[in-house]
Structure formats: C-alpha cells, structure tokens
Amino acid sequence: MRARALLVERDRGEATRRELVAVHALRTDLEIQEDGDRLAFPLVSEASVRPEWGTVDVRDFEPRKEGIPSEFRDLLELPESELRLVPRSFDVVGDVVLVRLPPELEERRFAVGEALLRFVPSCRLVGIDRGVRGPERRREVERIAGSGPWTTRHRENGLDFEVDLERAYFSPRLAGEHARVAAEVRPGDAVYDLCCGVGPFSVTIARDGRASSIVAVDANPAAIELLRRTLGRYPFGPRVRPVEARVEEFVLSAANAHRVIVNLPHEGIKYAALVAPLVAPGGGLYYYEVVPREEIVGRATVVQAALSAHGAWSVPAVRVVHPYSPSSDLVAVAAFRRGE
Ligand SMILES: C[S@@+](CC[C@H](N)C(=O)[O-])C[C@H]1O[C@@H](n2cnc3c(N)ncnc32)[C@H](O)[C@@H]1O
C-alpha cells in the first residue's frame, strides 16, 4: 500500500520510531521497511514531521503481519516464573540497547540479549546496564548480544551526540530535561553547563541560538573529547566553550552567568550551594538531586534555606524526573535569584 514515508539512517531507527510514536505520526497497520542504507517509516497522512528527523517521500509498504510481538519478552522461551521477572523497559542509545536485569535472571542474560537484538530495529549491540559509578559516573556495561564498540551516535531533540557508554556518562532518559532547561534560556544569557558530560544541555542551547555565551565544564577528559567531536559537526559548535576542569576549580575564577546548570545528582544540594554565587541577580540555577519520596513536598523550602547565604531566591516546587530507587526519585530543581 502506498503511503507517506519518513526515510532515516539506520542508526537513528529506534530513536526515530520513538519520536514518531510520541507524536502519533507512525502508522501501525503497515510494516517499517528497509530502503537501501535507510529505514522507511510509514506516516499517518496528516502527520507533521520535523525536517531534522529525515526525508519525507512516498513508498509502498507491506501490511503489518499478525503475530509480531509487541514486547521483547514475547521472543523469550522461559518458564512463566522467570518470564514475569523480565523487565518491560530498556534504553536505546544510538544503535546500542541497555537493559537492567534482576539477579534471578543473571543466567538468562544472553537469551535476553538475543531477544532484544531481534526486537529493536537497527540494534547492533546489547548490554547489561550495571549502573554508574565513581566521580565520573561511568556506566558499567557487559555485552550480552551483538558486536562492536560501546561508542555510538545518539539522536536526541533533533541533535546527534557522540557517546561512549563506557568512558563518559550519558542517559537517554534526560532528553526532556535537556530540552526543558534549554527553553529557559533568554536572548543574551550567559550560560554555564557544569558537570556537562557529553554536553546535551550545552549543544541544545547552542542550537537554539539565544545564549550570548555557553561554557561547558566537566572533569572527565573523555566527556570533553566527545563533546568537542559533536560540536565539530555543527555550524553552531563554536558557540560552546568546552572546559576540562573540576567545578571546584572553575568557580574560583568564573564571572557571573544568567543560567547555571549543575547535573551531579549524587552531590545535589552541596554543588548547588557551591555554584549559587555564580548566578547573576535575576538569573536561574538548575540542578538535579535524588530525594527520598517523603521529603519531596518540603524540598523547595529546604533548598531556599540552603541558598540564602548567597542572596534571596524563589524556589518553585521541585519536579520528579523519574523514580531512582524503591523509596526515592530523581528530581529537577529550579531556583531563581531575585534581582538586586
Ligand atoms: C550525571 S553526569 C551529567 C552529564 C550531563 N550533564 C547530562 O545531562 O548528560 C555528571 C558529570 O559530572 C562530572 N563530574 C563529576 N564530578 C565533577 C567535578 N567535581 N567537577 C566537574 N565535573 C564533575 C562527571 O564526569 C560526569 O560527566
């Protein structure tokens, strides 16, 4: 059947599929098909797609076959007692899939890997995500299916990021945060992106084009190297100044900025207080922390008190980004320094 099609590079396949599903633009009655080096996604006829997603054309599609599994666990042949422990969710970073498994499924990990490799279009490599560790928040990963390196190119908010899952932190679960904070930047703002990792806040802000300057700071040389590679591919790359440094050193000689972002959740409020003096009157501080669930309601008051040594602040209620553990959440905090 002939239908509008979105043509994208294979390594952007899963990210594009998710973006299309999110805006209800993907036709579910037709098969996604291979088109040379690209994938062709059947589009709902009235759907509007962003130009950076790919090329829109018309293609012939096969009707979607019955019996295609809707979950990857449907591809696993395991006893029911184990099947119910298989997680429904997994992360896709470029052409790499990461999954977390409960200890009871450790011996089944290779079967899980093969199922994910078959289930996710354009997946090249599947790994167990064993969490992030150490000051540089590097992810511990173990290959369970597929092949090749842990380096990949991940598409987020219409931008392609150079990622190395072993050497520098990256999480595909923060795409909404990167876009949300970038949208807060006003024309002429000076921005500091502290603990920038591979730079998703900075690169998004640079693409949006309103900031007068953007400085991206991280102590991990690998993160700064990956950020430089991403910036090198974009005409707006020179708007970001990557700096390899510890935040503790950077604050000693930095001038004020209008937007200061600190994303080091396990240091949370400690680093927020450390960098608060850098926020210009009238500016905003954006940071993340892990908070026990029962403390979330009163958290804004606690933050306001902690920042009060550095001027007067208004702190709206904190926002939950996602669950972190059975009893805590990752929350986003925005604090605004009153004008003087
Ligand atoms: C949770 S990651 C945040 C990455 C990024 N902002 C993002 O949204 O993807 C924290 C980053 O902080 C960096 N980091 C940790 N301690 C630091 C310090 N004292 N000074 C500068 N960077 C630090 C780590 O190397 C890591 O890249």
Cβ of 220 below 6 Å from ligand 1? yes
262 C-alpha vs ligand 1 centroid, how far in Å?
A: 8
Q: What is the per-residue burial (b if ≥16 Cβ within 10 Å, else e) of 280-315?
A: beebbbbbbbebeeeebeebbeebeebbeebeebeb
CA distance 133 to 297: 28
> For residue 116, what pLDDT band results from cuts at 50, 70 and 90?
very high
CA distance 149 to 167: 11
23 C-alpha vs ligand 1 centroid, how far in Å?
A: 31
Residues 197, 265 contacting (CB under 8 angstroms): no
Q: Atom 12 of ligand 1 has which residue's CA nearest to it?
A: 195
Q: How far is CA 51 from CA 54, 235, 251, in A?
A: 6, 17, 39
Cβ of 218 below 6 Å from ligand 1? yes
Mutate to test the pocket of ligand 1, among 169, 191, 224, 278 (most ligand atoms within 8 A of CB): 169
Q: Which residue has tokens 């959740």?
A: 265
Cβ of 247 below 6 Å from ligand 1? yes
Condensed to tens digits (0 to 9), the pLDDT of residues 286-319 reads 999 999 999 999 999 999 999 998 889 999 989 9
267 C-alpha vs ligand 1 centroid, how far in Å?
A: 10
pLDDT at 276: 96
Provide the CB-side half-sphere exposure for 25 (13 A, CA): 19
Strands 328-337 and 2-9, bridge-based pairing: unpaired
In this prediction, residues 196-204 reach a mean pLDDT of 98
Provide the CB-side half-sphere exposure for 340 (13 A, CA): 8
CA distance 63 to 86: 30
Of 28-37, 101-110, 265-274, 310-319, the poorest mean pLDDT is in 28-37
CA distance 320 to 322: 6
In this prediction, residues 6-22 reach a mean pLDDT of 81
pLDDT at 102: 95
Looking at per-residue pLDDT, the higher value among 255 and 23 belongs to: 255
> For residue 244, what pLDDT band results from cuts at 50, 70 and 90?
very high
How does the average pLDDT of the chain come out, rounded?
Answer: 92
> For residue 222, what pLDDT band results from cuts at 50, 70 and 90?
very high
Provide the CB-side half-sphere exposure for 66 (13 A, CA): 0
Give the residue from 180, 230, 183, 236 showing the smallest Cα distance to 213: 236
Residue type, 318: V
In this prediction, residues 25-48 reach a mean pLDDT of 86
Res. 153: pLDDT tops 90: yes
Percentage of residues in the chain with pLDDT exceeding 90? Answer: 73
Looking at per-residue pLDDT, the higher value among 224 and 46 belongs to: 224
C-alpha 190, offset from chain centre? 23
pLDDT at 68: 66
| Alpha helices (runs of H) in the chain, residue ranges in sequence order | 13-22, 80-83, 109-119, 175-183, 200-208, 221-232, 247-253, 268-275, 299-307
Res. 62: pLDDT tops 90: no
Residues 335, 272 contacting (CB under 8 angstroms): yes
- End-to-end Cα, the chain, rounded Å: 64
pLDDT at 193: 98
In this prediction, residues 229-239 reach a mean pLDDT of 98
CA distance 143 to 97: 10
Helix axes 221-232, 200-208, angle to 10 degrees: 30
pLDDT at 307: 94
Give the residue from 207, 206, 200 showing the smallest Cα distance to 223: 200
In this prediction, residues 36-50 reach a mean pLDDT of 86
Res. 199: pLDDT tops 90: yes
Condensed to tens digits (0 to 9), the pLDDT of residues 161-179 reads 999 999 999 999 999 999 9
pLDDT at 64: 77
Res. 250: pLDDT tops 70: yes
Q: Rg of the chain's alpha carbons, rounded to an integer?
A: 22
Mutate to test the pocket of ligand 1, among 154, 163, 195, 271 (most ligand atoms within 8 A of CB): 195
Across the strands, what pairs with 213?
A: 190
What pTM did the predictor assign? Answer: 0.82
Cβ of 162 below 6 Å from ligand 1? no
